[in-house]
Structure 1
């Protein structure tokens, strides 16, 4: 093991930071998990992508991120988001304020994000 090998914590922090910085604004409040794996793996080219996937699993089990699987299409898509009601609500607002149009995928992610905020706040929206 070399001294330059990233620790699990470094990969974990990079994953959570990547989701934090690449959601909201002109981007939807949730991001495809495959984008996270691919992009974070670029930061650690000598590491197997399974370490990034393990960091995602750890972040979802610890409650820093949440995972949503959209099975409404031809194939399943997995999205990740920040698992904090205030931060997620801010990202929803930023997306509404900055995006000029919403794609079908963006609309699905907005719907999921809004439901997650309600769930985190303990609000019953009648579903």
Structure 2
């Protein structure tokens, strides 16, 4: 087992991407709440400050590996993360449709945002 005390930025970055990839699609919506990503990846690197995970998320969004969307339409502001590739995101949307028997309000919101992002990435928006 490797020593996680001095985790490299790349290790944390890759862990963030892997967590988002693994926890979206299928029975889960195509986007995931940001908070559990930070908590889970931080748990994997207990000697590192959660700000390093937040920095990895910021780097992944600036590089186009992740999309970060904040929804403030409800009572609480929620931030979601997803893979920022139109083919992967579309695959996760389809997996969710195929495997989920019902969609919650939160799931429906994440589907809408993910579909809008696919359209945007493919240049199919009116914006």
Q: Shorter chain as normaliser: what TM range? A: over 0.9
Q: Return the TM-score normalized by structure 2.
A: 0.94
Name the structure 2 match of 1:51.
52
Residue 121 of structure 1: aligned partner: 122
1:14-65 residue CA offsets vs partner (Å, 9 max, x unmatched):
0011101100000000000001000101110111111000000000011100
User: Offset at 1:120?
Assistant: 0.3
Residue 35 of structure 2: aligned partner: 34
Partner SS state of residue 103, structure 2: coil
Q: CA RMSD in A?
A: 1.3
Runs of at least 5 residues in structure 1 that lack an aligned partner in the other structure? none
Equivalence for 1:60: 61
Match of 1:78 in 2: 79
Q: How far apart, in 1, do the equivalents of 2:4 and 2:107 lie?
A: 41
Three-state SS of the structure 1 residue aligned to 2:79 is strand
For residue 3 of structure 1, report the CA deviation from its aligned partner: 7.9
TM-score (norm 1): 0.94
Could you say what secondary structure the match of 2:92 adopts? helix
Q: Output the CA distance in 1 between the equivalents of 2:54 and 2:5.
A: 20
- SS of the aligned residue for 2:27 comes to coil
Report the secondary structure of 1:47's partner residue.
Answer: coil
In the alignment, what sits opposite 2:95?
Answer: 94
Structure 2: where are the runs of 5+ without partners?
Answer: none
Structure-2 residue corresponding to 1:12: 13
Deviation at 1:75, TM superposition (A): 1.6
Regions of 4+ moved over 3 Å: none
